Amino acid sequence: MVVGLNLAVLLYHGDPRVHFVQAAQAADLVVDAKESSRNRVESIAKGESEDEVLSEKIVHISEPARLRADQEWGPEVIVSPPNTLATSYGILNGVRTSTGYDSVSTVVLKSGQTPAGALYDAGLAGADVRAILASLKPFVDFRRLRPGNYFSLFFDETNELQSVELYRGILEQTLATRTVNGWNTEPVEVPVEIHSIGVGGTIRSSLWGALKEEGEAAELVNAFVDVFAWDIDFYSEVFPGDTFKVLVDKKYAGNRLIGYANVEAAQFVSRGKVHRAYLHREKDGTVGYYDKRGHSMQKQLLKSPLKYGHVTSRFGKRRHPVLGYTRNHNGIDYGVGVGTPTWSVGGGRVVRAGYHGGFGNLVEVRHANGWLSQYAHLSRISVRVGERVTQKQIIGKTGNTGMSSGPHLHYGLKRHGTYVNPLTQKFSRGKSLRGSELKRFEAALAELDTRLEMAGSFSDS
């Protein structure tokens, strides 16, 4: 009888092991507790967790299991399938579970709803709600919860609540369990593996577009740009037909990409000019990128004060868009929307931070060796006069203040009091590797070069 009932449920509902529950649809959804709580973690591929959980494990693989463009990471509800069909997906399917739980109810936080309100609306008793939240409080900042975060409520066969799991993301899960002494809470440890992957492609319109075609996310674009930020302005020195390759450590929870770790090596070929960079960790823990001869990729000043944008006006004479006559344009204009983070191109001291005539909101930073950088038309200033800033520190956000014809960033650069073209300057490098560190670096080059050559496949089609 039970076998027949199981078969009928299977034919009517389909194999329950392939059911995935989306957070937006999960109002009081009943699912099997065995895999949606602690054992959900065990269904994720074996490996070590992130820094705060377990030490990371590097696994070199030749063929990457890439996340495609339509597989975005982020918080979502995924219920892993049970190990056997004998552990059913709950009482709604007509078959009792063989676990200590009998049913699970998922309660999704709505906009403007408090955690307490969500649990009360789910029908929990006030004493339970207060005790559960008190138990979770040391592990969870309730102010940071967002709509779509959810609670999974696990009930036994007498319909008594036994456990509550709060899900804020694949690596942010917290489980509270009822005990004889009250509620006990602990973080759910999700194993994370790091795979070293080779990615390569050809640029047709932009670096971002090319990496997206390879199934990568914006985070990798940022990391790639950061490696070459001292040598390449990715707003003016990228052309169709340019190619890139990158060896990057990807972080996976099971088969799901959750982010990137380090870029181990990278190559960018622009109009035949080859740029290569390699990651090196010194024995004292210092980390940096170097060229093939062990010279630091880091330089005193960056080529650009933005991660993203396009050059709308270059250095030199031009017809002023507001005043209407021809005059020198002492800087570079980047066309970006209001609110784009702007960083200092180098370490130094802020000498101006405020409104300044046609520049609007202006920040000026004095650097060593006679350099001074300017950032104009800002919508917000994040530094004060006299403050020391570091390279890549955010000093404000782009805007449309002052004598401006539209949202953009005006970036100016002076050397010993005279304006110069930021795109043509050569800046001093950081220290090069020497002695035993250089030998260690050179010993690793052959393997990195071999793997970099194998990364990706270029096509002009």
**Residue 234 or 33, more confident:** 234
Average pLDDT over residues 411-429: 87
Condensed to tens digits (0 to 9), the pLDDT of residues 43-59 reads: 333 333 333 332 333 33
**How many domains are there within the chain?**
3
Condensed to tens digits (0 to 9), the pLDDT of residues 89-132 reads: 222 222 233 345 678 899 999 999 999 999 999 999 999 999 99
305 domain residue, yes or no: no
273 domain residue, yes or no: yes
| Same domain? 127 vs 25 | yes
Q: What is the CATH number of the domain that holds 144?
A: 3.10.450.350
Structure token pair of residue 205:
């319109």
| pTM score above 0.85 | no
Report whether pLDDT(135) > 90.
Answer: yes
Average pLDDT, the chain: 76
| Same domain? 33 vs 55 | no
Q: How confident is the model at residue 404 (pLDDT cuts 50, 70, 90)?
A: confident
Condensed to tens digits (0 to 9), the pLDDT of residues 157-194 reads: 888 999 999 999 888 999 999 999 999 999 998 888 89
174 domain residue, yes or no: yes
304 domain residue, yes or no: no
| Same domain? 350 vs 419 | yes
91 domain residue, yes or no: yes
- So what's the pLDDT on residue 222? 82
Q: In the block, which residue shows the tokens 């405020």?
A: 354
- So what's the pLDDT on residue 101? 65
Percent of the chain with pLDDT over 70: 73
| Same domain? 380 vs 241 | no
Q: How confident is the model at residue 243 (pLDDT cuts 50, 70, 90)?
A: very high
Report whether pLDDT(297) > 60.
Answer: yes
224 domain residue, yes or no: yes
User: What's the domain range around 183?
Assistant: 2-44+80-187
Q: What is the CATH number of the domain that holds 381?
A: 2.70.70.10
Boundary of a domain, candidates 165, 187, 209 = 187
Q: How confident is the model at residue 315 (pLDDT cuts 50, 70, 90)?
A: low
| Same domain? 204 vs 345 | no
324 domain residue, yes or no: yes
| Same domain? 131 vs 174 | yes
Condensed to tens digits (0 to 9), the pLDDT of residues 7-16 reads: 444 444 444 3
- So what's the pLDDT on residue 129? 94
Percent of the chain with pLDDT over 90: 40
**Residue 68 or 86, more confident:** 68
| Same domain? 84 vs 148 | yes
| Same domain? 39 vs 51 | no
Report whether pLDDT(264) > 60.
Answer: yes
Report whether pLDDT(442) > 80.
Answer: yes
Boundary of a domain, candidates 153, 187, 221 = 187
| Same domain? 181 vs 202 | no
255 domain residue, yes or no: yes
| Same domain? 52 vs 200 | yes
Condensed to tens digits (0 to 9), the pLDDT of residues 67-82 reads: 333 333 333 333 332 2
Comparing 135-139, 237-241, 437-441, which segment has the lowest mean pLDDT?
237-241
| Same domain? 355 vs 211 | no
| Same domain? 36 vs 50 | no
Boundary of a domain, candidates 133, 154, 187 = 187
